[in-house]
A and B are shown apart, each in its own frame.
Chain A
Amino acid sequence: MHIPKIVKIKRIIDESPTVKTFIFDWKVENEIPGHFMMVWNFNDEKPMSISMIDPVTNEIGISIRNVGEFTSQVHKLQIGDKLGLRGPYGRGFHTAGSKVLAVGGGIGMAPIVAFSEEASRRGIEVHVVSAASTMNELLFGDRIKKSGAKLLTCTDDGSYGFCGFGTDLAEKALSENVYEMVVSCGPEIMMKKLFDMVERFKVPAQFSLERYMKCGMGLCGQCCVDNQGWRVCVEGPVFWTDELKLITEFGQYKRDASGVKHKIP
């Protein structure tokens, strides 16, 4: 049933000055990296990527960057406070390939860290490019290292790791390694660049898209993408490169709550 399940916040992890991870008890059944939950704070409801899936302790985590009204309300919550979660929704990452490059930018690292933990657990060699604007905003470094994945960090301002964009570091990694798969989540401009790059390197890749969502259950049409009409909440949010070639709006524009198009900067 598509109804919110009320859960108590079990732990809160301060990931960076702007990002918190909220951990909940949750019977893990079909949840996979790339899935998202509709998060209800009894005032508004937004789609959020699952950033941690622990099928042993039956916990999931959701990482939220404080960027607006809803997220700042959620950031004020304490351990023991309640939220409504409905999901998991969408099509997540397909875990495949013996050596995988995972590229995350900003809060896009949320599903990427969940993916690298899952893939590493299965014995896949994972290299993670973690990109952030500055050192304090680099996310999930400890978890990635602990999972056994190789961590490659970069910051826009050069305050930590490689100085430059995630795509620069990804290009370096792609030149020096033979990957069987690339997965990515982050700003669309970054993913568009990476999309062009993996085409050049001829590596299969999956990208997690973000669009304005209302129902989350495939009915309202708010998150449909041009030119196929696919629903990001059902057919996505993760798309393969061959599918992205048919998503003509990828890297170009997205629609707001009323459906008006806005250019992607």
Chain B
Amino acid sequence: MTILEIELCGIKMKNPTMLAAGILGSTAASLNWVARSGAGAVVTKSFGLNPNKGYANPTTVEVTGGVINAIGLSNPGVENFKFELEKLDKSVPAIASIYGANPEEFSQIATRVEGLADALELNVSCPHAMGGCGAAIGQDPNLTEEIVRSVKKSAKIPVFVKLTPNVTDIIEIANHAEDAGADALTMINSLGPGMRIDIDTGTPILKNRFGGLSGPAVKPIAIRCVYDVFDSVDIPIIGVGGIRDYTDVLEFLYAGASCIQIGTSIMYEGMDIFEKILNGLERFMDEKGYGSVDEIVGIAHR
């Protein structure tokens, strides 16, 4: 047992890092690559019932402190995605991120893939989804509760719920998700949506005009969300939003996250980001005399 090992909802992880949903992760090959690069767990790109091409390009553009994207939940559909899940090398736990428009869709997808994943992460928080998916759900406490309840009714594996920060009161949504039986909360999804307009032509750059903001710019908000919710729920929180180095990870743990996810910063740091962060974290814990990650979680609340 190393000092980085954790257990989340009964799932053993060799370290507290995961790949965040939506970054790579649409194929077994890319998930296996991330696992080989050091991640403690991997989360797939979100998939739904049917193949979805997403939005036309441009789907992504850089801004100060991160990127805004409107990929539009492109995915090959659950049946095609099952083939990918079957090819995972199982070296680390795999979490299937799923989306739908209503409780029935979520439950149906959950049932079809739960034998192939270690946990589910419900995407009720994408800020650029079409047709009533994503944040349209996660901004409504009752709808969120209904969907979590529906999935939990049949799911035999842990269910994480990924929350949007784009609400007046994230604690209310978190409480509803917990009441409905969520095993953990992932927070936060991308912020906004935001826009970038080309100064030469005055054209919004993204084809969808607006998209979710991710990257280091959103970290302070993510930290605050985790900090706020930590006191109000009894289930673990998975922190995500703008993590680029191990000091960012520490902030999330201090705020109350049990583990964290890394996404956009792969663009800056490449796939070595997991190893770099883990080395930094272990060195820090060693210097400070911490024996486990759990000892750090929630320190800011003392």
Contact = CB atoms under 8 A, between A and B. Distances in A.
Contacts of A226: 27-29
Contacts of B91: none
- The B contact surface, by secondary structure, is loop
Interface string A231-265: 10010000000000000000000011111110000
B264 A229 contact: no
Interface residues of A, number: 39
B51 interface: yes
A82 B202 CA distance: 13
A116 interface: no
B29 A6 contact: no
Nearest to B196: A3
B200 A6 contact: yes
Contact of A214 (B30, B74, B205): B74
B43 to A, nearest CB: 12
B27 A257 contact: no
A43 B207 CA distance: 7
Which of B54, B196, B263 has the most A CB atoms < 10 Å from its CB? B54
Given A4-B198, A221-B26, A225-B29, A258 B76 contact: yes
A259 B81 CA distance: 9
A257 B74 contact: yes
A229 B24 contact: yes
B57 A45 contact: yes
Contacts of B69: 215, 219-220
A231 B33 CA distance: 11
Interface in A69-93: 82, 84
Across the A-B interface, the 6 shortest Cβ-Cβ residue pairs = A229-B33, A229-B30, A221-B24, A45-B57, A2-B62, A259-B76
Interface of A: 1-4, 6, 38, 40, 42-46, 82, 84, 214-222, 224-231, 234, 255-261
